[in-house]
Amino acid sequence: MAETGPLRFRVSAVQFSGRLLCWSLAAAMIAAALDAALHPHVRWWGALWPLPWWLAAGSALAWIALRAREKARRRPPGGGARSDWAQAA
């Protein structure tokens, strides 16, 4: 693992995949807007602009799996709040 320091934060896998999802969606929307507005005719553009969409799909699947695992590990709180937990579920 990376060392923690003043500028380094511990990020869980769920948080990392969520952030990756957000940034890849932003990059995909920018690429789609560039494709629609500028109609680039360079050869490599046809392979480049779908990559953020594939990354978004992959990170969404990873986030779903990691979030489900995280929620399955969490136990309901004990005591009188258990009825509130069951009601919210």
- Which residue bears the tokens 């494709």? 35
Give the pLDDT score at 11.
82
Q: What angle do CA 80, 85, 86 make, to 5 degrees?
A: 105
Please give the pLDDT value at position 4: 54
Among 3-12, 19-28, 33-42, name the most confident range.
Answer: 19-28
Taking the C-alpha atoms of residue 4 and residue 54, their distance in angstroms, rounded to an integer, is: 31
φ, ψ of residue 47 to 5 degrees: the values are: -90, -25
Instruction: State pTM to two decimals.
Output: 0.71
